[in-house]
Structure 1
Amino acid sequence: MIFVYIGMGLSLLASSLVKSTFAKYDRVRSQRGISGREAAEIILQKNGIGYVQVLSVRGHLSDFYSPKDKTVNLSEATENSSSIAAIGVAAHECGHAVQDAVGYMPLVISRNINPVCAICSQLAIPIIFIGFLIGLSGFIQLGIIVFAVAISFQIITLPVEWNASQRAMRILEEEGILSPQEIKGVRAVLTAAALTYVAAAASSVLQLLRLLILYGGRGRRDD
């Protein structure tokens, strides 16, 4: 269970960090006074992807880019705020739109394997549980393999998120949307956000290791 506790600790720590970092820089207004929506529209136009729409969604930090609908979806706080935190988050989602427009390969791969990984994530634990319940090692092995496939999406997501953040900061600076000093704040916000993905992936890998250890122990007892 130590792996489970470590994973939970990493996730809680990362979540706390991103909330506190966002709150800190959400109190810092941008020098130009533009909102997250305005920043997003500037970035999309400058990169020749004005066909991507900027829409509003409910929630806090619920922002996302939809490659299927070609929309950058911003939460109300991000859309209407002129803080450097909000502008950074909006720019990050536009970074995904730019990735999509240029055919960034990790994004293409993650988008294609996502449906398979989503199914695997739902099936893995039930298969493993049945395997332990009826004592079939083949079922347990299959469940572990299915679980490994499921977490591959989280691992592939890491370079996608990192690259989107790098694109966001570069565009914000090149277009003069934020000053170099303000970019430092954006970097802090986006780095904290990236750590949530790292923590989630690490937690899943630790869970996989736990399953492998449990299966290994069962295998030795069966021998």
Structure 2
Amino acid sequence: MGLYFLLLIPPMLLGFYAQWKVKSAFSKMSQIPARMSGAQAARQMLDHGGLSSVGIEQVPGQLSDHYDPRAKVLRLSPDVYSGRSMAALGVACHEAGHAFQDAHNYAPLMIRNAAVPAANFGSGTGMILLMAGLGFGLTSVAWAGVILFAAVVFFQLVNLPVEFDASARAKRELVAQGMIAGNEEQYISKVLNAAALTYVAATLQAVLTLVYYVMLLLNNRR
């Protein structure tokens, strides 16, 4: 139990903090006005980069924004799509950054997309096998679960450069195209840095979960 609290509770708390931080940063930066909406900023960024064929759609939800590589569409939440704020510009152009990665075959994105099926399988079936193996004393089954869960860790690790690069592209294009002034980049950074913390927390939690179960199984062998 001591090992559990040492390895798993801190990243779990960091995850809760990161979720609060991103919502807080988005709320505060939503009060800082911008010269255009999030959808307009993303459209300008995409068109300037030769990606006029990439669509932009509004979807329900809060912070439900994402880029769909299969449909080649940016899907933005109402607050981001119509919002004329620094928060809206930051999030919208971050998602546009993923479209740039897709168009230019950015290697970490290609690897991440290829890893999605394995990660989904590992997070579901892997944990089932792990719990069943531990519960019934079937060590080989538990190790199979650990191996499958390692795909989740791999996905989280490769996701970090993908998200960091999309944010860097967003800030660079917003300034270069004059959508924000140079001194306004700090507002965009507050939103994107808070979002980055959620990716770091998720990665840390996945890595330490894997470490915990590996150590648990190794200890059971003694």
Q: TM class, shorter-chain normalised?
A: over 0.9
- What's the CA shift string for 1:95-137, capped at 9, x where partnerless? 0001111110100111111112111111111111221233222
Q: Would you say how many aligned residue pairs link Structure 1 and Structure 2?
A: 218
* 1:8 paired residue among 12, 16, 34: 12
Shift in Å at residue 6 of structure 1? 1.2
What residue number does 2:31 align with? 27
SS of the residue corresponding to residue 41 of structure 2 reads: helix
Moved over 3 A (4+): none
Give the TM-score, by structure 1 length.
Answer: 0.95
Gaps of 5+ in 2: none
1:135 and 1:36 map into 2 onto residues whose CA distance is 53
Matched, 1:153 2:155: yes
Which residue identity does 2:71 align to in structure 1? D
What residue number does 2:204 align with? 202
SS of the residue corresponding to residue 56 of structure 2 reads: strand
Gaps of 5+ in 1: none
Shift in Å at residue 7 of structure 1? 2.1
Map 1:1-223 → 2, pairs under 5 A: 1-2=4-5, 3-30=7-34, 33-220=35-222
1:118 and 1:132 map into 2 onto residues whose CA distance is 21
2:134 and 2:81 map into 1 onto residues whose CA distance is 49
Task: Kindly indicate whether the alpha-carbon contact (under 8 Å) linking 2:115 and 2:151 is maintained by their aligned counterparts in 1.
Answer: no
Shift in Å at residue 212 of structure 1? 1.4
Give the TM-score, by structure 2 length.
Answer: 0.95
